[in-house]
Structure 1
Amino acid sequence: MQRIGKILTTLLLLTAIATAQRAPKPYGPVPNERQKEWYSWEMIAFFHFGINTFEDFVNEGEGKVSTAIFNPTALDCRQWVTTLKNAGIPCGILVAKHADGFCNWPSAYTDYSVKNSSWKGGKGDLVKEYTDACKALGVKPALYLGPHDRHQHLSPVYNTADYSDYYARQLSELLRNYGPIWEIWWDGAGADELTTPLYTRWADTVRKLQPQCVIFGTKNSYRFADVRWVGNESGKAGDPCWATIDSFSIRDEAQHIQALNEGQLNGNAYIPAETDVSIRPSWFYHKEEDDKVKSPSELWDIYCNTVGHNSVLLLNIPPDRRGLLHPTDSSNLVQLHHKIKNTFAVNLLAGSAVSSLHPRGKNYLPANLTDTSAGSYYATPDGYATDTVTFTLKAPATFDCLMAQEVLELGQRTTGWSVDYSSDGKTWTAIPEATNKQTIGHKWIICFPQVTAKKVRLRITAGQACPAIHTFGVYKQAAYADINQ
């Protein structure tokens, strides 16, 4: 009997060890491969450029102006894309057709396009020049093809059935003729008449021709969307900002702005938020706004409230009438990149002694939170949704920023967390800005007044499943004077 008891004890111990080393199972909806790729971009550029650029202070053209006015004198898409490279932005969305209906490529299905403009005697193709520049410089090209088309509505025989064919053909032109397209942007403005059956057809076209292409959806296209609108155009993702949402509750955006902005913790679909904002007050370029470009400091705040709120930032930088980015826009964008890079270059918790109340096992050690491995993470055993992780630095450090990242593939797990600091490990002081937080997701960033501490404590206070956290760190924000301009 004693021998049997020892065998059972050994078996139980081995089972416990095996369980401790087994990876946590995903919880709830999880991202698809397109969404994981999209999250990794963090920032996307938006290029609003078209016939509206050549009208006087127009952002929403009526589709009536003559195509002849489109005539950039020094168009250089390589200049645009070089700015993205210098700013660390891996993807850019060109407006191929805005709501005015003017097409930036020589579409075979309309005369309202560059083929009837003054530019290059009607022989130009902006979409080709843009996608070629992206390919040459290693940036992922994406396109905005506005579903609403005011020029087509001018026809006395306009009807949605014919327009469904028209749009499907133009979508096919773009997805067949310009190589890989990494996102297609379906704006909901003015598109209430475009119902789910139309988007069903168009989504099938996207999935057939470009299966890697992310769909940005609104209103009646949410059923097919990989990413959702954030509910505003001011660069503010919600707090919380869950990646999941009830796809059936967002058909009427006007009534569900909060849900779009914050997501829904127990939503039935994984549709994270993409946060669009312009570097200028308007979406298209206007010379009158040259002194109203958002500063690097304003852009940093936007970055922290978008990328740092489990979202992806879609930042508009509109080319001028020459077809070039204004130097102020480019400079401020590059300065933002240096601010981000310099701030997060050094995790002040790296090399610290790390302990936790409920470690899962050797493959999921708390020290994984501060390493630089893309594949490692910290987890507690199944059944422990809360935990406390303590970091003891080798020497006191001063910091004013923190960042946490969850393991996306395992779903939304942690729903409550706070951060404290201490000089001796006995008396702890809460960081007010980092108290009673909810979302972590791909990335959560919090800035606060400087503190100096020898110990930092991450308290996970609530969760739907055991935590699975990829990274946790504290940082000192880089001063703009230290940035190479």
Structure 2
Amino acid sequence: MRLKGLLLIVALVHLLSAASAQTARETREQFLARTKWWREAKFGMFIHWGIYAVPADCTDLHGNKGIAEWYMSNKQMQVKDYEKFAAQFNPVKFDARKWVKTAKDAGMKYIVITSKHHDGFCMFDSKLTDYCITKATPFKRDPMKELAAECRRQGIKLGFYYSIMDWHHPDYLPRRPWEQNVRPAAGADLNRYIEYMKGQLRELLTNYGPIAILWFDGGWEHSAEELHSREVNEMIRSIQPQIIINDRNHLPEDHATPEQTIPAGAMPGGRLWETCMTINDTWGYAKNDTNWKPAEDLIRKLCDIASKGGNFLLNVGPTAEGEFPPEIVQRLAAIGRWMKVNGESIYGTTQSPFRKLPFDGRCTVKGNYLYLHVFKWPDEGLKLLGLETPVVEAHALNTRQKLSVQRSSTPDGPVISISKPKALDPAATVIRLKLAAPPVVSQQAFAIQPDSSGVISLRARDAQIHGETARYEEGGGRDNIGFWTNPRDYVTWLCRVPRSGRYKVEVTYACPPQNAGSRYSVGVEGGPTISGVVGATGSWTDFRTETIGELSLTPGRHTIAVRIISMPQGAAMNLREVRLTPLG
């Protein structure tokens, strides 16, 4: 598992729009019906299991920490030397019933397991190679067959991960740098490898009953055309019409797959997405990786993802003996206990209607119910701003205690105050609000206020993003609106201007030389605007601040917008902040 090379591929970012999410042969309604179970499930188990569990080592040749399933690459091994691990792989403690029950007890609704990872070893019975668990190991059994039967018995959906990249197959290209002299590429044929891949996908999709998900990975070394991705995906859907396919063979398909990160907000245009994440730092089992995330942190991550409309695919790396590590079992059990009490606040919910919350926590919605996930109860009491819909009643899910609700009015909109329950959950106390109707939230309550000097800071994290590609990014030097590749996308802020006058307009952005040159406007919706030109700052993370002019503003609430006038080089900029400073 490792996601590479997507950020700068402008064409791919365009493909990720919601307009492309459904297949060409289905309506939006059919797409929603096909993906309904997945959108409601919210929580799944990822399993990375293979012969890399034998060495169970996540370090490279220099002792630097990596990820265990990349052992062959980390140690720069030759194929024949890595193959020896197959003969040592004998997971006699594997118990499909126990695995599925562990997932189910944790509150997970589906499982995605590696049928073949980048090392090329097949964890299923394939007639197309001897390099598989039923032929190359002393175990001889097909764990995918046993898992498929057990998932059906326990009511859990099953999906297969399949790596496009294959370091073992003689026709897969390119060769690794350290093996080029030992295993030359002469005679290799990628198209022949694609036929092998298609044959294996047919096996996976015809020999194991209904398969809910096909989860591609390792496609970054080739284009969609080289991988015959459209042809492959059409074949998959011809065999399993209801299947859900991810976006990792360079076609958007059904959902996006952020890895080891949680987006700052919902995907543009309602795009479906699923964060996949490890419980420690590696996907495959590694005896030398003990950096386990606490259960409390994982529960909060689940709340965060659900509040943004996403799914959480949480990884398990079983041992070579076929067992889940005890540290993982303990954490999954703790999540399961929380989900047993609070699962209704996760399953079948949609994203929060609030742009921000005045407390440390998250919010989800289901019909006429709001669920508040309170991570830390605020000292000043729990309040909600801007909720226009009347609250009928409030309860704490952990004790079913009924809570009092008070409503007051302010110039910025309604404020709801909720009493503190007798017992708090250390991970997340969930408050269920029953409303008189689906929630309606006034954005007036979220108007940005000037600081004590009258300066109005319009930051990326507070922007409302309109369109199909632009989205907020954070981490890795980013705190900005990026992926801005559609000139029709724009961003707005609602702010309060304290007094009339002229305001200096400063814009902080980043843009590499090859994408510079876009013209943009900053101004009041329906009022005065000024324009600027995006210059080259060095890279997408080299930010600079420019003064582009002055705006005359009147007192009161205004919507400030940044719009693209022209975009000659395929992307606008990474926008961090617009600052309005009063003059005189």
Interval containing the TM-score (normalised by the shorter chain): 0.5 to 0.7
How many pairs align?
Answer: 331
Task: Report the CA distance between 1:370 and its aligned residue.
Answer: 3.4
Q: Which has the higher contact order (CA 8 A, sep 6+)?
A: 1
What corresponds to 1:151 in structure 2? 168
CA distance in 2, matches of 1:206, 1:104: 19
**CA deviations over 1:42-93 (Å, ceiling 9, x no partner):** 0110110011111341321358211323222312122111101211211101
Query: Does 2:404 match 1:395?
Result: yes
**CA deviations over 1:127-158 (Å, ceiling 9, x no partner):** 11221221222211110011111111366432
Change (3 A) 1:212 1:414: farther
**CA deviations over 1:292-323 (Å, ceiling 9, x no partner):** 32211111121122222211001101111210
CA contact (8 A) 1:95 1:145 kept: yes
Greater fraction helix: 1
CA contact (8 A) 2:370 2:432 kept: no
CA contact (8 A) 1:42 1:312 kept: yes
1:97 to 95, 98, 116: 116
Change (3 A) 1:334 1:197: same
What corresponds to 1:39 in structure 2? 39
Q: Once structures 1 and 2 are overlaid, which stretch shifts more, 167-176 or 194-203?
A: 194-203
Task: Report the CA distance between 1:199 and its aligned residue.
Answer: 1.0
What is the letter of the counterpart of residue 42 of structure 1? K
**CA deviations over 1:166-221 (Å, ceiling 9, x no partner):** 11100000101110100000114544255376111211121111111100112522
User: Matches of residues 228-247 of structure 1 in structure 2 within 5 Å?
Assistant: 228-230=256-258, 232-234=259-261, 236=262, 238-242=263-267
Change (3 A) 1:346 1:297: closer
Task: Report the CA distance between 1:395 and its aligned residue.
Answer: 2.5
What corresponds to 2:309 in structure 1? 310
SS in 2 for 1:59: helix
**CA deviations over 1:391-439 (Å, ceiling 9, x no partner):** 265734227656899xxxxxxx99968689xxxxxxxxxxxxx998889
Where in structure 2 are there 5+ consecutive unaligned residues? 1-26, 58-67, 173-182, 347-364, 372-385, 394-402, 406-418, 422-428, 435-439, 448-460, 467-493, 495-584
CA distance in 2, matches of 1:165, 1:82: 36
What corresponds to 2:244 in structure 1? 214
Where in structure 1 are there 5+ consecutive unaligned residues? 1-27, 243-263, 348-365, 373-385, 406-412, 421-433, 440-460, 462-485
What is the letter of the counterpart of residue 327 of structure 1? P
- RMSD of aligned alpha carbons: 3.8
CA distance in 1, matches of 2:282, 2:342: 29
CA contact (8 A) 2:51 2:320 kept: no
What corresponds to 2:409 in structure 1? none
What is the letter of the counterpart of residue 52 of structure 2? N
CA distance in 2, matches of 1:136, 1:93: 16
CA distance in 1, matches of 2:293, 2:33: 33
What corresponds to 1:471 in structure 2? none
Query: Does 2:117 match 1:118?
Result: no
What corresponds to 2:105 in structure 1? 86
What corresponds to 1:74 in structure 2? 93
What corresponds to 1:109 in structure 2? 128
CA distance in 2, matches of 1:227, 1:92: 16
CA distance in 1, matches of 2:234, 2:280: 35
Query: Does 2:276 match 1:227?
Result: no
Change (3 A) 1:371 1:48: closer
Change (3 A) 1:387 1:436: farther
What corresponds to 2:295 in structure 1? 296
What corresponds to 1:340 in structure 2? 339
CA contact (8 A) 2:106 2:336 kept: yes
Change (3 A) 1:346 1:192: closer
CA distance in 1, matches of 2:191, 2:232: 13
Task: Report the CA distance between 1:279 and its aligned residue.
Answer: 1.1
SS in 1 for 2:251: helix
CA contact (8 A) 2:224 2:230 kept: no
CA distance in 1, matches of 2:446, 2:39: 25
SS in 1 for 2:69: coil
CA distance in 2, matches of 1:183, 1:143: 6
What is the letter of the counterpart of residue 107 of structure 2? G
CA distance in 2, matches of 1:417, 1:81: 47
CA contact (8 A) 1:43 1:91 kept: yes
- State the identity %: 23
**CA deviations over 1:378-401 (Å, ceiling 9, x no partner):** xxxxxxxx9822326573422765
Task: Report the CA distance between 1:160 and its aligned residue.
Answer: 1.9
SS in 1 for 2:45: strand
CA distance in 1, matches of 2:136, 2:196: 21
CA contact (8 A) 1:418 1:435 kept: no
SS in 1 for 2:203: helix
CA distance in 2, matches of 1:96, 1:135: 18
CA contact (8 A) 1:46 1:92 kept: yes
Q: Using structure 1 for the length normalisation, give the TM-score.
A: 0.60
What corresponds to 2:287 in structure 1? 287
Change (3 A) 1:419 1:42: farther
What is the letter of the counterpart of residue 145 of structure 2? K
